[in-house]
Chains A and B, each alone.
Chain A
Amino acid sequence: MSRHQYAMVMDLNKCLGCQTCTIACKKLWTDRDGTQHMYWNNVETRPGMGYPKQWDQIGGGWKDGQLQPSRQPTLDDYGAPWEFDYEQRLYEGKRKPVMASPDPISGPNWDEDVGALNGDDNFYFYLPRICNHCTNPACLAACPRQAIYKREEDGIVVLDQERCEGYRYCIAACPYKKIYFNEITGKSEKCIFCYPRLEKGEVNACAAQCPGRLRFVGLLDDMNSAVHKLVHVYKVALPLFPEKGTEPNVFYVPPFNPPKRSDYGKSILEDPRLPLEYLLYLFGPAVRGVIVRLEAELTRAQKGASSELLQLLIGRDAETRYQIRPQLVQIQPRIG
């Protein structure tokens, strides 16, 4: 276990699905050769296919202490970007509006806002995803070249581009499919939790740019951090697919009270707009207790009591949401 552990909590009740985090990450880290299919941060509509498609079904992770098999995602699974027919429109006399060409049949966020039906009502929510910087990373265990390591000082999982030979066992092993292959460099890449920013005291780009202010970042072992309070004190933030056994350090506050046409204000347990089964699928049985706790806190606040938890979740300013501690995390150069 690392000495400290940076963690992120994302409140799914606040996510707008605007993809500003995705673009912030893309512009900063994956606007390079061979990275056109990579979104180290993506936001997917749930229920939905996800990115890469059906990543939650294709394997990886741990079971009974053993790594589980998986196939490699294809470029189609990621959703290849497409071009537009500007040339025909601008130079070849085409009179119709500019269109995607060839006609795309898939994309990285193809089923955005589709969701599913619950009775007659459509439901969906957004799930932003980055690397989970797991405590028990399957990717690290799967690499025969020790190219992946977890930084002792802050728990961030990084992939050494010098050691990597592009074998892609890590991609298969990650149950969240958050490692990507760059065919131009012949090496795999992943989210680095913006460690160069953290080392300067700046929060991750995805969090800094989020207009919904739904991300909380800090050291999980820092008692004063929002992430510590949300995960360990109030116990309202859960990892995705805990049964995969990798012990993620990215946590989610589940959607607990989405408004419904006729029953505004009633919870998922009382009058489910989202079927509880779907949240159980994503977050495991602990999600039930989280919804009960959040619901009780909301009821209390609606009766006029003050709620530190709800104030924290609102997270009006950066000081409330982020506790970046470069002075606590002294990074040593890696030998060998």
Chain B
Amino acid sequence: MRAIPRIFFGFFLPFLFVVAQSSDALAQQKPAKTAPPEKPGLSLRTATPSARMEALLDPMSAEWSKLTSQRIALNRTPRLYDTEAPSELELAFVDIRLARTEGKLLVQMIWRDPTQDTAGIAKLPSAPTEGRPHKELTEATDRFFDSAAVMHPMRLRENDVWPSLQMGDAGDPVTIYFWNAARGAARMQAEGRGTTKRTGESFPAQASYGNGSWHVTMELQDVPAGMPLAFAIWNGSQQDRDGRKYFTTWLKLE
């Protein structure tokens, strides 16, 4: 595993100041286009392994360990609402591996999280409730689950002009592959903060938790080189949901 280059932090610090404005300022401001990383080491490398897709969907597959991983620092979103308690940065980084195979882009995300926030939630039965003696029960009302997501613009534009990291821009939408430890995988789309919509589609994703770490794999539709990806992680025990999360900046796919 490669160490994070020093230059990485040099690039990120000014960016963090921009992000760490008050929620009012964030809400009123027209989201700025995010500058592409210009420094070497910030682009994402993709492997083209010979392994079959099924093998790579297993997050613990030995096939993954043959590929180089890239360690990406995680940022914590600033406090979004005055009513929410501030929350510290508890997860420092995510390790990413990318593999192109069979026309798909497979993503493996590994991050340390000492608290495994998940649960077996009953599926909503399709049979109508009337006359059905057993109803599924709400087990808790105050818990949130670990989640992860990969986001990329729906269109690759020229000159590395990318939409806002805050869920894209009006007219410049993003697609989001969202995985939730308790509720599974869902594809979403958005055109700016607060506009995220479920598409109704799922996608293949698998997860494994052990030794204080999540290993998650997601199968994305392949995207061309030059496409930026951004990653996000939600820590359930920090009551993460919505924009209360960890995120990376846009990272350009080689």
* A interface residues with partner B (beta carbon < 8 Å): 31-37, 66-75, 78, 142, 144-146, 165-169, 171-173, 180-186
Contact = CB atoms under 8 A, between A and B. Distances in A.
Contact of B138 (A66, A144, A165, A181): A181
- State the main secondary structure of chain B at its contact with A: loop
A31 B138 contact: no
Contacts of A185: 124
Contacts of A69: 82-85
B141 A78 contact: yes
Contact of A32 (B84, B129, B139): B129
Q: A33, A75, A142, A145: which has the most chain B beta carbons within 10 Å?
A: A33
B140 A142 contact: no
A183 B81 contact: no
A66 B23 CA distance: 13
12 contacts: A32-B135, A34-B138, A36-B137, A68-B83, A69-B85, A74-B141, A75-B138, A173-B83, A181-B138, A184-B121, A184-B136, A184-B138
A36 B138 contact: yes
Which 10 A-B residue pairings sit nearest by Cβ, starting from the closest?
A72-B142, A183-B138, A33-B136, A69-B83, A181-B141, A34-B138, A32-B129, A184-B136, A167-B242, A33-B135
A33 B83 CA distance: 30
Interface of B: 80-85, 121-122, 124-125, 129, 135-142, 183, 193-194, 196, 241-243
- State the main secondary structure of chain A at its contact with B: loop
Contacts, number: 90
Given A74-B141, A146-B194, A33 B243 contact: no
A69 B121 CA distance: 28
A254 to B, nearest CB: 31
Given A67-B83, A181-B141, 14 more contacts: A32-B129, A32-B135, A33-B124, A33-B129, A36-B138, A67-B82, A69-B83, A74-B142, A142-B83, A144-B80, A144-B193, A144-B194, A168-B142, A184-B137
Contacts of B241: 165-168
A186 B85 CA distance: 22
A151 B138 CA distance: 29
